Amino acid sequence: MAETRSITTPIYYVNAHPHIGHVYTSTVCDVYARFERFLGRDVFFLTGTDEHGQKVETSAREQGISPSELADRNSAVFRDVLDLFSISNDDFIRTTDAHHEQQVQFFVQRLIDRDAIYLGEFEGWYDKGQEEYYTETKARELEYKSPISGQDLVRATEQNYYFRLSSFQDRIEELYEEQPDFVRPQARRNEMLGRLREGLNDVPISRTNFSWGIPVPGNEEHVIYVWIDALFNYVTALGLGLEEEPEENRSRFWPADYHIVGKEILWFHSVIWPAVLMALDLPLPRCIYAHSFWISEGQKMSKSLGNFIDLESLEGYCNRYGGDALRWYLVTQGPLGATDADFSRQHFHDVYTTDLVNTIGNCTSRVSAMIGKYFDGLAPADPDPSSDGWPESTAVHVEACIASMEEFDLVDSCEQAMAIIRRVDVYINEKEPFKLAKNPDSMPEVGGILYRCAEALRIASCLLAAAIPERMEALWSSWNLDIDPGRGNLQASMNWGGLAAGTKIEKVALFPRLELDDSTD
């Protein structure tokens, strides 16, 4: 049986339009999922939409439609985005899916039965936009304003169902202690630890001031807090909590390997969610990875500054540079670490030119042109395959590339593949096959050099296929390589010598050189 890997994005709110943030998180998950599938793993990649809550109810009212109409309409927009950006998710969950609603009620009932949820009175500082309560300490720190919308926090009292988060203090601290990689990156883990040490309070998990949500079982005046509803998507999509055996058994994908989220929703994922799972005796995910934010042209994105990277501007980049160029920029330059990343038109253009045009594009076209010129476009034989340590040095990068991907270090994983390509460039410059080819006696040597270059590029292309799938497929087709990530044989494809002598190597121009154009958005 193949090993499983499962990865999730947050499920996105349907009351806003998709933008770079959503495309980013979905793309990094997609790269991992594609790579792991190519490695032959049994992968489950989940994304979806978060459709309940007061904000959706209010927006729908303002637009004169029902909340479910609004949810249908905007959830479809998010689904279309996945196609547009070649996201290969295995499922798309909607929190309005009937099965999800039933399963959430099942879990909440179980939590009530176990006394992990109780009915009580609550007073606190409420962020209307985020539908989130803050403690006095936190509210004071925020100067009683929403960190997201800037609106005043309001004092609110409610009779609510509460989750006994306070009783999980020790277990959550132990979890952080025993699994230092439970929250990544490290700086975010430290932040969560700091907050944990302030002490955990019980959290309200129901609302009575609106109705667009899943009713609390047995007390329909209360709807389940949108965050609890939403977090459960990770297990309801896998069929957990269903009374009947689902058609497709996906329980093997729990616990998830990675929940990839933005830093603003880490607390829910790294403290509340594990406590809920503990209360249900369900296994915990392996890692909650919280990336930072994209800012734009040096500033926080905002509609009023005109630097908001919405779908339209992303499509502009795709149309001009190609979808893979956008993926490459997001993955290699994005905010996977603890600091925000700046999306700038100039930087995008520079990265495109340096990595894709000058490195991958130039090297592949150089090698195919020389094979065209000196060997009639047929891959030459290598008279001395072990020459210059190619099989070994490539294997080192392959291994490191795979190991980094497993650790969700996408930047290093891509870098390992790029290192192979850069070595090919250096090798050509050193060996100067174009000079050797002037002497007919040197042709076997030239053949060996070019074979090694093409073979190293073939291997690098397999490693890069998860990040830039469309262009790597174009390369495979020009070079008549029978590579199909769907066969899950990345390891085997990596063996040195996979390129057969005599293979037709056609010329390729993978990434056109472009001028910086101000009209991308």
Q: Residue numbers of the site for ligand ME8 (CB under 6 A)? A: 10-13, 21-22, 24-25, 50, 230-231, 261-262, 265, 293-294, 301
**Integer angstrom CA distances of residue 12 from 183, 234, 266:** 21, 13, 15
Shortest gap between Cβ of 216 and ligand ME8 (angstroms)? 19
Nearer to ligand ME8, 149 or 354 (CB): 149
Tokens 């690098």 belong to residue? 460
Residue 359's Cβ-count burial label (10 Å; 0-12, 13-18, 19+) is middle
Q: Cβ 183 to ligand ME8, closest distance in Å? A: 14
160 with 206: CB under 8 angstroms?
A: yes
> In whole angstroms, how close is the CB of 265 to ligand ME8 at the nearest point?
5
Give the nearer residue to ligand ME8 in terms of CB position, either 175 or 260.
Answer: 260
User: Residue 223 in 3-state DSSP?
Assistant: strand
Report whether 286 contacts 434 (CB < 8 A).
no
Please state the closest distance from residue 471 (CB atom) to ligand ME8, in A.
24
Tell the smallest beta-carbon distance from residue 227 to ligand ME8 (Å): 7
What sign does the CA torsion over 495, 501, 503, 509 have?
positive
In the bound state with ligand ME8, the residue whose beta carbon lies nearer, of 38 and 225, is 225
CA 4 from chain centre, in angstroms, equals: 17
Q: Where are the alpha helices (DSSP H) in 376-507?
A: 390-406, 410-431, 433-436, 443-464, 469-478, 490-493
Look up residue 312 and give its two tokens. 């339209």
Query: Which residue lies nearer to ligand ME8 by CB, 261 or 398?
Result: 261
Q: Closer to ligand ME8 at the Cβ: 242 or 265?
A: 265
CA gap 323, 308 in Å, rounded: 19
Instruction: Find out whether 325 and 511 touch, Cβ atoms under 8 Å.
Output: yes
Residue 264 is classified by DSSP as G
CB-closest chain residue to ligand ME8? 21
Indicate the residue among 162 and 294 with the shorter CB distance to ligand ME8: 294
State which residue, 43 or 228, has the beta carbon closest to ligand ME8. 228
> CB 11 → ligand ME8: shortest distance, Å?
5
CB of 88 to ligand ME8, least distance (A): 18
Task: Return the number of the residue (236 or 413) whose C-beta is nearest ligand ME8.
Answer: 236
- For residue 490, the minimal CB distance to ligand ME8 (Å) is 27
CA distance 453 to 496: 12
Q: How far apart are CA 479 and CA 508, in angstroms?
A: 8
| Rounded-to-integer distance, Cα 486 and Cα 94, Å | 27
Virtual CA dihedral for 243, 254, 10, 237, nearest 10 degrees? -30
Quick one: 214 or 457, whose CB is closer to ligand ME8? 214
Q: How far apart are CA 342 and CA 113, in angstroms?
A: 48
Pairwise CA distance, residues 454 & 427, whole Å: 12
Minimum distance from residue 327 beta carbon to ligand ME8 (Å): 15
The distance from CA 36 to its chain's CA centroid, rounded to whole angstroms, is 13
Cis, bond preceding 185 (omega within 30 deg of 0): yes
**Closest distance to ligand ME8 from the beta carbon of 262 (Å):** 3
Cβ distance to ligand ME8 smaller for residue 254 or 293: 293
